[in-house]
């Protein structure tokens, strides 16, 4: 028998659980005379549970390959299994240290304390995709607990200009505990190549145990959300954190992250009475659209259900519901089990985990700069708006690619703030446009950070127009161009800005002569009309003239001040 020592204090149960235990349930048969007209206001309260599949090479308690690792993505059903996953007699679990360390990193990034002592618990329940009929989890002594995270919210909730500061929103984290995932039920026959889904309809379910045993980190927040927008923003922020840490691939469609909001409403009636609706847990949402839709549906429907049945929050009133993506509504599934229904007890086949200071600090040292810090730095150092900065940190690989572009531009002598600003323009405009066309990330187009930096340098030296810069970017994205010198290609293609004063004078005179009416408008003070003449010159020059210089020459020739 393993001798148990005293661990950290047990974290307080979630607010919803405390309230449900302390609040007597209102009888479903209770009647009241309230109508919809008696509802003065409805306040939303949401706590979130997030299940994150960790991208370790092997599973949580066996050496079987992990389907959440990109190397084993798309494996044929029931091929990533072994005696431990199947729960065969005599098969014993062995803890995956990498999964524990990934979980510690996520916990630290969420401001959690890391327990010096934690143990594994056995959670017993029967389900067709749970071959052992129990799940190894953590109950009383979670690995991570008592944290909080500040997510950056743009001022005014909009795009946020460069001068508009972000307004941090604090979300409390109750706990993050480590467990193993269950398998998966397939409700249609696998396609020709297997892998689940895409095949013919069936009137039964198939069991795929590839996912069984996958390391699963469950993160539980305080009920600090009062709008669907905030919940989705936090979910996106959490996904970015986990992906930057390399803890998960974060592909929502593959179930790498699943969200389960716990939702109830507080109804204020016209006579001053408050009514708290029962907590509803929505299971297994794997898209931000579904997360938002389920919360907004419950916000609208829970007051209607209360008017119909009078049920209020209390012990034994929590239910789980599923989400119908087609009908855009939730559906009742079952009454929610309480902890005692799972018959938790210490896992007899695994030793507890002791985390000393040395191990904890070794793990902490591996944490990179997190998305929120990068976003704030980009806004401050490069004068980017919130929307621009957020787009850069939204994808880990694009963010790292962007920073390499900045470093390469700096190496060419471009001022650091200018390098950051111009690299952002390149990645988010020229890069994003072509990435959308090809359905890839901007970092996967084939152009290198050094080539982008060379384009930036040409623009800074006024030897390349914005139009030519975009065209050159596109040429360098073509296959086989990764080793091509950007300046040399621009010269070969005749893209370099024309500095020949005689040629510029000739084109400006021709544009004015051929567009007399527009020229007269400019002479009379309609300076905006000069843009049409600049366009003509740019066409005559094949895009090689400097538009700013051309505009100055046009205005000077037509007797208007340069502004």
pLDDT digits (tens, 9 = 90+) for 136-154: 999 999 999 999 999 877 7
Contact 130, 124 (CB under 8 A): no
Of residues 517 and 245, more confidence is placed in 245
Give every CB contact of residue 412 below 8 A, 6+ residues apart in sequence: 453, 454, 456, 457
- The neighbour count for residue 287, using CB atoms within 10 Å, is 16
331 φ/ψ angles, rounded to the nearest 5 degrees: -135, 140
Instruction: For residue range 312-364, list pLDDT tens digits in order.
Output: 998 878 889 999 999 999 998 876 666 667 889 999 999 999 999 999 999 99
- The neighbour count for residue 493, using CB atoms within 10 Å, is 12
Q: Average pLDDT in the 63-67 region?
A: 97
Determine the Cα–Cα distance for residues 530 and 556; give it in Å rounded to an integer.
Answer: 11
Comparing 55-59, 513-517, 553-557, the range with the smallest average pLDDT is 553-557
pLDDT band at 18 (very low <50, low <70, confident <90, very high): very low
pLDDT band at 465 (very low <50, low <70, confident <90, very high): confident
Please say whether the dihedral angle defined by the alpha carbons of residues 368, 370, 375 and 377, taken in this order, is positive or negative.
Answer: negative
43 bridge partner residues: 266
Tokens 């895009």 sit at which residue? Answer: 543
Instruction: For residue range 215-267, list pLDDT tens digits in order.
Output: 999 999 999 999 999 999 999 999 999 999 999 999 999 999 999 999 999 99
Tokens 């006024």 sit at which residue? Answer: 462
Res 444 pLDDT > 90: yes
pTM comes to 0.82
pLDDT score recorded for residue 544: 74
Nearest Cα to 379, choosing from 157, 149, 163?
Answer: 163
Res 473 pLDDT > 70: yes
pLDDT band at 194 (very low <50, low <70, confident <90, very high): very low
Nearest Cα to 550, choosing from 496, 516, 500?
Answer: 500
Beta strands in 162-214 (DSSP E): 167-180, 184-190, 198-208
pLDDT score recorded for residue 338: 63
* Consecutive H or E run containing 229: helix 228-244
pLDDT band at 370 (very low <50, low <70, confident <90, very high): very high
Determine the Cα–Cα distance for residues 242 and 259; give it in Å rounded to an integer.
Answer: 14
Contact 545, 498 (CB under 8 A): yes
Q: Average pLDDT in the 75-84 region?
A: 96
pLDDT score recorded for residue 497: 74
Question: Three-state DSSP class for 494?
Answer: coil
Per-residue burial over 388-422, b if 16 or more Cβ lie within 10 Å, else e, is: bbbbbbebbebbebbbbbbebbbeeebeeebbbbb
Phi-psi region at 440: left, alpha or beta (left = phi > 0; alpha = psi -120 to 50): beta
pLDDT band at 495 (very low <50, low <70, confident <90, very high): confident
Comparing 129-143, 321-335, 365-379, 431-445, the range with the smallest average pLDDT is 321-335
State the DSSP code for 83: H
Contact 319, 332 (CB under 8 A): yes
Please say whether the dihedral angle defined by the alpha carbons of residues 337, 342, 343 and 344, taken in this order, is positive or negative.
Answer: negative
Of residues 167 and 186, more confidence is placed in 186
Nearest Cα to 176, choosing from 218, 148, 140?
Answer: 218
Res 16 pLDDT > 60: no
pLDDT score recorded for residue 357: 97
Give every CB contact of residue 293 below 8 A, 6+ residues apart in sequence: 323, 325, 328
To the nearest whole number, what is the mean pLDDT of the chain? 88
552 bridge partner residues: none
pLDDT score recorded for residue 388: 96
Question: Three-state DSSP class for 125?
Answer: coil
pLDDT score recorded for residue 4: 32
Domain ranges for the chain, please list them.
15-148+166-336, 371-492, 501-557
pLDDT score recorded for residue 498: 64
Q: What is the 3-state secondary structure (H, E, C) of 257-284?
A: EEEEEEEEEEEEECCCCEEECCCEEECC
Res 117 pLDDT > 60: yes
Domain spanning 501-557: which CATH class is it, in words?
Answer: mainly alpha
Strand 319-324 relative to strand 167-180, pairing: unpaired
pLDDT score recorded for residue 189: 76
pLDDT score recorded for residue 6: 35
Nearest Cα to 420, choosing from 369, 381, 454, 447?
Answer: 381
Tokens 């405009």 sit at which residue? Answer: 429
- Kindly state the tokens that stand for 459: 């623009």
Res 563 pLDDT > 90: no
């Amino acid at each position: 028998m393993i001798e148990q020592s005293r661990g950290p204090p047990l974290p307080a149960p979630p607010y919803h659980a405390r309230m449900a235990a302390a609040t007597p349930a209102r009888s479903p048969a209770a009647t009241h005379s309230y109508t919809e007209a008696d509802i003065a206001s409805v306040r939303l309260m949401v706590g979130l549970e997030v299940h994150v599949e960790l991208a370790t090479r092997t599973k949580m308690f066996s050496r079987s390959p992990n389907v959440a690792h990109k190397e084993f993505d798309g494996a044929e059903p029931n091929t990533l299994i072994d005696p431990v996953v199947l729960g065969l007699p005599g098969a014993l679990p062995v803890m995956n240290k990498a999964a524990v360390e990934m979980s510690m990193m996520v916990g630290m990034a969420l401001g959690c304390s890391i327990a010096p002592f934690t143990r594994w618990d056995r959670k017993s329940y029967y389900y067709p995709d749970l071959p052992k009929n129990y799940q190894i989890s953590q109950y009383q002594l979670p690995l991570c607990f008592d944290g909080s995270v500040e997510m950056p919210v743009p001022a005014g909730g909009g795009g946020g200009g460069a001068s508009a500061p972000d307004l941090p929103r604090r979300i409390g984290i109750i706990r993050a505990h480590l467990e193993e995932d269950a398998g998966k039920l397939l409700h249609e026959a696998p396609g020709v190549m297997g892998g689940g889904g895409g095949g013919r309809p069936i009137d039964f379910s198939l069991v795929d145990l590839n996912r069984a045993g996958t390391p699963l980190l469950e993160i539980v927040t305080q009920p600090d959300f009062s709008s669907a927008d905030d919940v989705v923003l936090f979910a996106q922020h959490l996904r970015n954190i986990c992906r930057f840490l390399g803890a998960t691939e974060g592909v929502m469609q593959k179930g790498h992250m699943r969200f389960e909001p716990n939702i109830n409403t507080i109804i204020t009636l016209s006579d001053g009475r408050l009514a708290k609706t029962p907590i509803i847990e929505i299971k297994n949402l794997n898209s931000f659209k579904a997360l938002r839709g389920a919360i907004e549906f419950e916000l609208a429907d829970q007051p209607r259900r209360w008017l119909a049945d009078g049920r209020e929050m209390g012990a034994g009133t929590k239910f789980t519901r599923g989400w119908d993506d087609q009908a855009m509504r939730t559906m009742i599934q079952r009454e929610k089990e309480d902890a005692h229904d799972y018959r938790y007890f210490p896992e007899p086949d695994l030793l507890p985990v002791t985390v000393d200071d040395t191990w904890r600090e070794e793990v902490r040292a591996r944490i990179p700069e997190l998305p929120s810090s990068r976003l704030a730095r980009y806004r401050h150092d490069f004068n980017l708006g919130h929307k621009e900065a957020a787009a850069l940190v939204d994808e880990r690989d694009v963010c790292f690619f962007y920073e390499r572009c900045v470093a390469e531009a700096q190496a060419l002598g471009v001022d650091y703030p200018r390098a950051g600003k111009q690299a952002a323009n390149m990645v988010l405009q020229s890069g994003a446009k072509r990435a959308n066309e090809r359905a890839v990330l901007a970092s996967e187009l084939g152009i290198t950070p050094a080539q982008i930096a060379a384009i930036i340098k040409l623009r800074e030296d006024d030897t390349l127009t914005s139009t030519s810069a975009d065209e050159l970017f596109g040429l360098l994205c073509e296959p086989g161009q990764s080793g091509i010198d950007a300046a040399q290609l621009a010269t070969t293609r005749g893209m370099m800005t024309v500095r020949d004063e005689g040629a510029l004078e000739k084109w400006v005179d021709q544009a004015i002569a051929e567009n007399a009416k527009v020229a007269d408008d400019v002479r009379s003070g309609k300076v905006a009309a000069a843009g049409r003449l600049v366009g003509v010159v740019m066409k005559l020059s094949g895009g090689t003239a400097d538009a700013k210089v051309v505009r100055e020459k046009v205005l000077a020739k037509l007797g208007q001040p340069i502004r």
